[in-house]
Structure 1
Amino acid sequence: MNSPTPSASGHVTVVGSFNVDHVWRCDTLPNAGATIAGRYASGPGGKGFNQAIAAARAGASTTFICALGNDAGGTLARELAAGDGLDLRAQASEEATGTAGIYVDGHGRNMIVIGPGANAVLDAAFVAQQDTALAGSGVVLVQLESPVETVLSTLQAARRHGATTLLNPAPANAATSTDLLSQADVITPNETEFAALLARHLGERISADDVATLDGVTLHQHCRLLLPHGTVVVTLGATGVYVSHPDEQLRGDARAHYRVAAENVNSIDTTGAGDAFNGALAASLAAGPLPAFADHVRAANRYAALSTERPGAALSMPALADVVARFPD
């Protein structure tokens, strides 16, 4: 049976993290024990905030639920949310606002260290108090920089309200459970996260570097075992995106599995590209059904590609008009 994308309200709720990013740009990434020179900048980030900004700039009315410290980072989050029209629901925390140290080399590759701070104490009870936002959402998007019990309860509430649940299982070293996966309609791992999920849940050991080279049938088999009831979207960087559906829920697509090619862009910084993809995918799904799920993926793929032509994380997220101008066909 070929099922369309569920009906959407046009509203996206993102539950997740906000960080103050400290970024060093270097010719090469540092090795252990090395001291190298770099160019420093600071700005907003965190997977949740990046994705919320992307969803809003991609055209969705967006609520962002998070935890913030009573400090300069929390003030920054509130100011930026207001500037982008985000409906910010922030739990006040005695912990410091989250931080991240990011190193970016001359090829746009990055290394990241996170200081969770307030993100680690985002409470399921606080998210439950925002039930009206979840009830009014076409898509609810979560990641794994928040406590797993909070993420799980968010997905459960979203499903009760009939929203499409979108789980970005990132970062790769974060804990996932069968219960968590069972509540996701769509999951969006990158190669590293996909390899980690296969190892954790199926006992299948595959190098992240080899994921993109696996044939489509083998990838599909792994995806069906990993998420039998839902859609798996594996982002593969420069080699594009792989999509796998259950046979009974093709979401408007003609095939159960396929690849979408990467866009040709002049990438200078891949920081936040996965978040750009997730936020734009949520916005596209929430806006209403396109002829096929593949159309939503292409829209998100183009949005993410354009974000890599700009430095930074949250502030690199393009406006929808910029994406349409860059990819007019």
Structure 2
Amino acid sequence: MPAAVVVIGSFNVDHVWTVDRLPRPGETLAGRYRSGPGGKGFNQAVAARRAGAGTRFACALGRDPGAELALSLAADEGIEMLALRVDEATGTAGIQVDATGRNRIVIGAGANARLDAAHIGRVADRFEGARVVLAQLETPVDAVMAGFAVARDRGMATILNPAPADAGVPDALWALTDFATPNETEFSMQLKRCCGLEVDADTLAAEPDASLHALCRRLLPAGTVIVTLGAAGVFASRPDAALPDGDPAWLRVAAPRVEAIDTTGAGDAFNGALAAALSLAPGRALEAQLRDAVRFASLSTEKAGAALAMPLRSELRARFATDEA
């Protein structure tokens, strides 16, 4: 299948402990353990593919069982790998999930830290035919900037998921970003970093729409900002100059009620599904694209895990009877 989406990002082997509640500092709890594939980049690539888009994934892998897992799973999913192989351990993540589905995550970058602009340059011809390039910041920012520069030169849309929350985003990368998709914490931290604004992440879902829109315009004046708000859905803000006649500058899309058991990877599910929606039906109304991406992310929380918890497009349609473009 020709690529509609190129994802630049990380692959991790996830080590997950499920506990009744998250431990306090210095506390030891008993939990249940499992391991599986993850990393924001791979999660988003699987989500984009399962949401119906042909997908290529640019990443860095070691020469170890974790790398073989990545290559095998990508082949099973129909994802074309654009992998740099390095003499370093494949990335890992330690994840704690409580009984309500909340999580804490610590990552060890490993090979992910070796992804560079030179590799993106070598595989740039494989971007041909794609409509969307999606990236996060678990890999070096220079690689992301190189990929977004290729996208900008070829008229592709770019989506930046500015995660982890403490990742720095240089002005040059914001300038190459068409869509930014922070969660509440990431949005708050990026506003502080780039604009010097102190915003309480815990109250963003209740922020008046006009105020939240104004904050989004400060973060990315020329692009669309989509703040993911967990169970409250998403808030999207667009620059006035880019709006079709009569379209609102901002909108909210609610999340459906689901039986969440694990929110790990829900943000990645949203990003991958949004990339797929934008690539498969670029002329479709943004509200409809966001609605399907929110539903896709919500459905992913009903399964344990990250990459392998992503729903299939058929499951999304069966559950929500989604509208077609």
Which TM-score tier does this pair reach, normalised by the shorter chain?
over 0.9
Alpha-carbon distance in 1 for matches of 2:244, 2:59:
30
Alpha-carbon distance in 1 for matches of 2:234, 2:5:
22
Equivalent AA in structure 1 for residue 313 of structure 2:
L
Quote the residue 1:5 is aligned against: none
Quote the residue 2:303 is aligned against: 310
Deviation string, structure 1 residues 132-152 (Cα, Å, up to 9, x no partner) = 222321000000001011111
Deviation string, structure 1 residues 152-183 (Cα, Å, up to 9, x no partner) = 11111111011000100011011111111110
Secondary structure in structure 2 of the residue aligned to 1:154: helix
- Cα displacement (A) at 1:248: 1.3
Deviation string, structure 1 residues 225-245 (Cα, Å, up to 9, x no partner) = 111110000000011100000
Quote the residue 1:325 is aligned against: 318
Equivalent AA in structure 2 for residue 46 of structure 1:
G
Quote the residue 1:4 is aligned against: none
Structure with higher RCO (Cα < 8 A, 6+ apart): 1
Quote the residue 2:159 is aligned against: 166
- Select 1:91's aligned residue among 78, 81, 84: 84
Question: How many residues are treated as equivalent by the alignment?
Answer: 321
Asked if the contact 1:51/1:276 (under 8 Å) is kept, the reply is yes
Asked if the contact 2:162/2:169 (under 8 Å) is kept, the reply is yes
- Select 1:181's aligned residue among 174, 181, 193: 174
**CA, structure 1 residues 232+320, in 2 after alignment: closer, same or farther (shift >3 Å)?**
same
- Cα displacement (A) at 1:289: 2.7
Quote the residue 1:68 is aligned against: 61
Q: TM-score, normalising length from structure 2?
A: 0.97
Quote the residue 2:274 is aligned against: 281
* Structure 2, unpaired ranges of 5+: none
Quote the residue 1:266 is aligned against: 259
**Consecutive aligned runs of 4 or more in structure 1 exceeding 6 Å deviation:** none
Quote the residue 2:34 is aligned against: 41
Secondary structure in structure 1 of the residue aligned to 2:60: strand
Quote the residue 2:286 is aligned against: 293
- Cα displacement (A) at 1:251: 6.4
Alpha-carbon distance in 1 for matches of 2:60, 2:284:
37
**CA, structure 1 residues 252+13, in 2 after alignment: closer, same or farther (shift >3 Å)?**
farther
State yes or no: 1:24 paired with 2:27: no
Asked if the contact 1:135/1:158 (under 8 Å) is kept, the reply is no
State yes or no: 1:109 paired with 2:118: no
Alpha-carbon distance in 2 for matches of 1:267, 1:252:
38
- Cα displacement (A) at 1:129: 1.0
- Select 2:118's aligned residue among 116, 125, 128: 125
Question: CA RMSD, aligned part only?
Answer: 1.2
Q: How does 1:148-163 map to 2 (within 5 A)?
A: 148-163=141-156
Secondary structure in structure 2 of the residue aligned to 1:165: strand
Quote the residue 2:212 is aligned against: 219
Quote the residue 1:59 is aligned against: 52
Secondary structure in structure 2 of the residue aligned to 1:248: helix
Secondary structure in structure 2 of the residue aligned to 1:43: strand
Alpha-carbon distance in 2 for matches of 1:257, 1:219:
9
Secondary structure in structure 2 of the residue aligned to 1:274: helix
Deviation string, structure 1 residues 74-131 (Cα, Å, up to 9, x no partner) = 0000000000000011101111000000000000000000000000110111111111
- Cα displacement (A) at 1:10: 6.3
Asked if the contact 1:276/1:307 (under 8 Å) is kept, the reply is yes
Asked if the contact 2:3/2:56 (under 8 Å) is kept, the reply is no
Secondary structure in structure 1 of the residue aligned to 2:275: helix
Alpha-carbon distance in 1 for matches of 2:246, 2:293:
16
Asked if the contact 1:141/1:166 (under 8 Å) is kept, the reply is yes
Quote the residue 2:43 is aligned against: 50
Alpha-carbon distance in 1 for matches of 2:126, 2:245:
27
Asked if the contact 2:3/2:129 (under 8 Å) is kept, the reply is no
Asked if the contact 1:234/1:243 (under 8 Å) is kept, the reply is yes
Secondary structure in structure 1 of the residue aligned to 2:261: coil
Moved more, 89-98 or 129-138: 129-138
Alpha-carbon distance in 2 for matches of 1:315, 1:286:
22
- Alignment identity in percent? 55
